[in-house]
């Protein structure tokens, strides 16, 4: 450094030059464009093609959307107003929104009930979904929610859900009493207690059918997006515990139980949901005692629950298999018995690992609830294909209706998958 002597050279700069701006191509928007859109000629062509297609789509859809007509009574009137120009006929949505959301038979003056149940669902789900931000006391409401929702949506006397609730409470108390002896004894006592309460309660509810009664709505009157939502939430919440049991059964060392679970899971996973819905629709009645006639929606719920519990079982089995062997051995060496080890050590970790998979199954299941339209139930898709597109007023309105269907399903499914990614980050305890 100091080899050059200041005295022997003609000029030495003793002040810093002011910093110069980077060249125009290396800063700001131009740099970003160069790096992200036009780094080489292949990418430049791709970008230009993409921009062209985006322009085509937007320039086609934008006037269609802007010219949209919201207040006519039929497609013919829409066409009259539009006079051949492109434009959407959104009046099908403003006129039929209630059918799309609630089905065409749910009584108009009762719409507040499913809506209230829908809003309360968020309150009930909050302590499960955001356990770290919501006080634990709200969990009491979560436990009550299924009974409230049943009462709100189906109506009838409030005694029925209350009896059901008391049955569960009795089962829980009995379980706690006998759990000290053994887990199996507690389970047996619980089932017995619930059965007794429900049997007695059956007489009670038929005797007092007028107490706090909302007008009854039979299940065949449910429809629209409401039906998708009911099927989705009910089946996912029912299939989670069944799936856990199936997964444990499949991992079990008892050969008979293991093979029952394996055959069930592989059979269900091997057939399409549609065939199971056919079973619910036309075959199941043959396998029930003569004269039983319980409604289609319940049969469909049973079948979809079986379907999704098999998939959830496989996801949880993956979680169980991913746990290190040491966790099982540690639980054994602490002297925990099988139910304790599963509840306290294995399941919390296995479930955490399987969250993304479970959410995938849940989203898939929610989407698959549209399949019930094939066995002539009028869910959202069934409503669009059936009563609306077949009506003389709206025959030919496709894009507005299907766009509405996309608008209903996309936010729910996308929201759930984003939530699961968030939850995964929250639960991550490793230091990566």
Partner 1 sequence: MTTMSDPPSESFRPSQLLNDTRYRSYTFQFIALLCLIGLMAFLGINLVRNLAAAGLNISFEFLGEPAGYDINQRLLEYDSQSSHWRASVVGALNTLLVAFVGCILATIIGVVVGVLRLSKNWLISKIMSVYVEIFRNVPVLVWILIVMAVFVAVLPQPRDFRGDSPEASMFLDLFAFTGRGFYFPQPYFTVEWATGSTGWLIIIALLVGALFGTRAMLARATRIQEATGVRPNTLWINLAIWFVPLILACVIMGLAWDIPELRGFNFQGGIFARNSFIALTLALSIYTAAFIAENVRAGILAVSKGQTEAAASLGLRPNRIMNLVILPQALRVIIPPLISQYLNLTKNSSLAIAVGYMDLTGTLGGITLNQTGRAIECVLLLMLFYLTFSLAISAIMNVYNNAVKLKER
By the criterion CB under 8 A, which residues form the site for partner 1? 35-37, 39, 43, 46-47, 50-51, 54, 182, 184, 253-257, 260, 266-267, 269-275, 278-279, 282-283, 285-290, 332, 337-338, 341, 363, 367-368, 370-371, 373-374, 381, 384-385, 396, 398-399, 402, 405-406, 409-410, 413-414, 417
Q: Of 99 and 369, which has the nearer Cβ to partner 1?
A: 369
Q: Of 255 and 324, which has the nearer Cβ to partner 1?
A: 255
Question: Measured from the CB of residue 252, what is the shortest distance to partner 1 in angstroms?
Answer: 9
Question: Measured from the CB of residue 271, what is the shortest distance to partner 1 in angstroms?
Answer: 5
Q: Please tell me the distance from the alpha carbon of residue 211 to that of residue 365, in angstroms, as a whole number.
A: 36
Q: Please tell me the distance from the alpha carbon of residue 126 to that of residue 242, in angstroms, as a whole number.
A: 23
Question: Measured from the CB of residue 370, what is the shortest distance to partner 1 in angstroms?
Answer: 4
Q: Of 170 and 248, which has the nearer Cβ to partner 1?
A: 248
Question: Measured from the CB of residue 208, what is the shortest distance to partner 1 in angstroms?
Answer: 33
Question: Measured from the CB of residue 410, what is the shortest distance to partner 1 in angstroms?
Answer: 5
Q: Please tell me the distance from the alpha carbon of residue 383 to that of residue 289, in angstroms, as a whole number.
A: 33
Q: Please tell me the distance from the alpha carbon of residue 29 to that of residue 22, in angstroms, as a whole number.
A: 13
Q: Of 137 and 325, which has the nearer Cβ to partner 1?
A: 325
Q: Of 58 and 207, which has the nearer Cβ to partner 1?
A: 58
Provide the β-strand partners of residue 125.
Answer: none
Q: Of 138 and 260, which has the nearer Cβ to partner 1?
A: 260
Question: Measured from the CB of residue 114, what is the shortest distance to partner 1 in angstroms?
Answer: 21
């Amino acid at each position: 450094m100091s080899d050059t002597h200041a005295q022997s050279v003609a000029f030495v700069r003793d002040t810093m030059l002011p910093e110069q701006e980077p060249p125009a191509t290396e800063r700001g928007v131009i740099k970003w464009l160069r790096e992200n859109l036009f780094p080489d000629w292949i990418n430049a062509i791709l970008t230009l093609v993409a921009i062209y297609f985006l322009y085509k789509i937007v320039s086609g859809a934008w006037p269609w959307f802007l010219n949209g007509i919201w207040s006519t009574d039929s497609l013919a009137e829409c066409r009259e107003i539009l006079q051949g120009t492109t434009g959407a006929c959104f009046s099908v949505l403003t006129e039929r929104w209630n059918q799309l959301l609630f089905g065409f038979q749910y009584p108009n003056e009762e719409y507040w009930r499913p809506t209230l149940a829908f809003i309360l669902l968020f309150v009930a789900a909050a302590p499960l979904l955001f356990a770290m931000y919501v006080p634990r006391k709200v969990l009491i409401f979560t436990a009550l929610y299924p009974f409230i929702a049943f009462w709100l949506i189906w109506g009838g006397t409030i005694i029925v859900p209350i009896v059901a609730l008391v049955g569960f409470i009795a089962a829980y108390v009995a379980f706690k009493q006998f759990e000290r002896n053994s887990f199996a004894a507690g389970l047996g006592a619980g089932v017995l207690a619930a059965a007794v309460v429900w049997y007695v309660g059956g007489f009670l509810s038929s005797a007092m059918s007028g107490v706090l009664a909302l007008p009854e709505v039979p299940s065949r009157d449910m429809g629209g997006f409401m039906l998708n939502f009911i099927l989705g939430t009910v089946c996912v919440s029912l299939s989670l515990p069944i799936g856990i049991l199936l997964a444990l059964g499949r991992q079990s060392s008892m050969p008979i139980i293991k093979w029952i679970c394996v055959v069930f899971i592989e059979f269900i996973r091997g057939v399409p949901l549609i065939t199971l819905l056919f079973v619910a629709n036309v075959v199941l009645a043959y396998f029930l005692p003569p004269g039983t006639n319980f409604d289609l929606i319940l049969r469909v719920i049973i079948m979809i629950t079986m379907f999704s519990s098999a998939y959830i079982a496989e996801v949880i089995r993956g979680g169980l298999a991913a746990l290190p062997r040491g966790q099982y051995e540690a639980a054994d060496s602490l002297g925990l018995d099988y139910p304790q080890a599963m509840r306290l050590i294995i399941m919390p970790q296995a479930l955490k690992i399987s969250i993304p998979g479970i959410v995938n199954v849940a989203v898939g299941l929610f989407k698959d609830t549209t399949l019930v339209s094939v066995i002539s139930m009028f869910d959202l898709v069934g409503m669009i294909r059936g009563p609306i597109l077949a009506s003389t007023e709206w025959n030919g309105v496709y894009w507005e209706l299907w766009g509405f269907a996309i608008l209903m399903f996309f936010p729910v499914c996308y929201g759930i998958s984003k939530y699961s990614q968030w939850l995964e980050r929250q639960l991550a305890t490793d230091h990566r």
